[in-house]
Amino acid sequence: MKKWFLFCFIYLISAAHAQDEILQTQRMGYLQIGSYFQGWKIEGQIVPINQISVPLVLALPLGTNMHLILTHKPAYTWWEDQIKISGPSDTWVQMNYMLVRNAVLVNLGVGVPTGKTRLNNDQLLMTQLLSKNIFRFSLPVYGQGLCLKGGIAGAYPISDRVILGMGAQYIKKGSYYPVDYTYTYLVGNELYSETYSPEYQAGDEISGQVGLDIAVSQDVKVMVDLMMTHYGRDMLDGVETYGSGQKLMVEGGVFYRFPDEKYIWGHILYRRKGKSEIRQGLDFESEEYNSSGNQFDVDIHADLTSAENAKFALLFNGRFYGENEYGVGKANIAGAGVGMHYEASPTTDFDFHLKYLTGSTDDRSIEGMEIYMAIKFEF
């Protein structure tokens, strides 16, 4: 969900600064259908954890300054012999509206709870891996209940070369039933089985962001963004049980265009969360040590060669996560790949990328593969 807020903010900045090479201002409607395979092999486990997702995006123009955007991402995830999750994701319906001479962007959205919930014991275990940032699974969570959000972002030109952007977003989260957890217990010589299905409601989120877009020269642009997120307390069966620490995100981007219109786009992301709160009896207490460590993500896209109607790129990813104050959570991954963008017609585009990544997490080696394909029809 936070990715949509970042997208709206960068969309606004790029529209104000005419950076069509990075994010084009979308004036037409389109349908994009993708296929995404991700597989990760972890040392000590015979079978890798795999996911195939089908990202779907439909954008409908409702006027000169308004777009309605629907996103859905069904997926099939499997691990070991019997551990698998298949089905739809939640569906997001969003509206983007530009106003004040395209200097302000308003985003409203609803997350419709169409995704799979009530996971069993094995599926719950697998989601602990799916939700780890280091793997970047396309669909880390299938269902989260009803969500509502609203955001606003604005851009102000400080000079011919510098644009200041500011934004805010609020996400209201509803309750849902994430698991049907089965446990057994012994009474005398009899073994009994029970199912635990708690009602869970994640805390609401409030985010604020400020950023600068700087044109260093005609061919070099720099973006810097800072975002803070505050989380409300989570509730389990109507009782507050957990409070996530505030999160700081700092993003930086550098864009360099060569004389022949080829380019390199580099992006770095830093994440850090504060100490969380845990209910102890009747009171909440902060963690003794911070269970979250520093996280750095680095992505580089180099568009270095082209043919008729096609562009070819080299891709690099690096993810470098430090251990937390408990001495766990350290992970380092690096990888590279190739990408292609093919314009089949003025209204039909095809995208493809293939990546291989390797590294370690908590002293266990890991290696992964990503294959992505998508076709986009404009209308």
Averages of pLDDT over runs of 10 residues in the chain (379 residues) are 48 46 59 97 90 96 91 94 91 92 90 95 90 94 95 91 93 95 88 92 95 92 95 94 94 91 93 91 85 95 89 96 93 97 95 97 94 97
Q: What is the reported pLDDT for 185?
A: 87
* The residue to which tokens 């259908």 are assigned: 33
- Cβ proximity of 369 and 358 under 8 Å: no
Please give the Cα distance from 175 to 365 (Å, whole number).
37
Domains of the chain: 2-378 (2.40.160.50)
With contact defined as beta carbons under 8 Å apart, do 265 and 22 qualify? Answer: yes
Residue with tokens 């954890």: 49
* pLDDT (0 to 100) of residue 15: 46
Model's pTM, two decimal places? 0.89
- Cβ neighbourhood burial of 190 (10 Å; 0-12, 13-18, 19+): exposed
Q: Give the model's pLDDT for residue 28.
A: 81
Instruction: Give the separation between CA 259 and CA 240, rounded to whole angstroms.
Output: 58
Taken in order 120, 126, 132, 138, is the CA torsion positive or negative?
negative
Q: Residue 211's pLDDT is what?
A: 92
Dihedral sign for Cα atoms in the order 330, 48, 351, 116: negative
Residue 283: the pLDDT is 79
Rounded-to-integer distance, Cα 147 and Cα 1, Å:
10
- Contact between 56 and 138 under an 8 Å Cβ cutoff? The reply is no
Spell out the alpha helix ranges (H) of the chain.
Answer: 2-17, 121-130
